[in-house]
Amino acid sequence: MNNWGSYQTLVGQLEEGILIVTINRPDKMNALNKTVLEELEHAFAQIKIDAAVKGVIITGSGEKAFVAGADISEFKGIDKSIAMEMAARGQRIFEHIEKSTKPVIAAVNGFALGGGCELAMACHIRIATEQAKFGQPEVNLGLIPGYGGTQRLTQLVGRGKALELMMSGNMLDATGALQWGLVNQVVAAEKLLEESKKLLQTILSKGPQAVARVIEAVEACFDKTKNGYTEEVRLFGDCFGSAEMQEGVTAFLEKRKPKFN
Query: Is residue 44 a contact point for ligand COA (CB under 6 A)?
Result: no
Minimal distance in Å, beta carbon 115 to ligand COA?
A: 6
Q: Which of 11, 28, 96, 234 binds ligand COA (CB under 6 A)?
A: 28
Please give the Cα distance from 17 to 228 (Å, whole number): 30
Q: Which residues contact 88 (CB under 8 A, 6 or more apart)?
A: none
DSSP 169: -
Torsion sign over Cα 193, 195, 201, 204:
negative
Tell me how crowded residue 77 is: count the other CB atoms within 10 A of its CB.
6
Q: How many residues bind ligand COA (CB under 6 A)?
A: 17
Query: Is residue 29 a contact point for ligand COA (CB under 6 A)?
Result: yes
Please give the Cα distance from 105 to 57 (Å, whole number): 5
For ligand COA, give the closer residue by CB, 136 or 209. Answer: 136
Query: Near ligand COA by CB under 6 A, which window of 27-35, 84-92, 99-107, 196-204?
Result: 27-35
Which residue, among 95, 90, 169, 93, has the nearest Cα to 133 in the 3D structure?
A: 169
Minimal distance in Å, beta carbon 86 to ligand COA?
A: 11
Start-to-end CA span in the chain (Å): 19
132-151: which residues touch ligand COA (CB under 6 A)? 137-138, 140-141, 143
52-111: which residues touch ligand COA (CB under 6 A)? 68-73, 111
The footprint of ligand COA (CB under 6 A) covers 28-29, 31, 68-73, 111, 113-114, 137-138, 140-141, 143
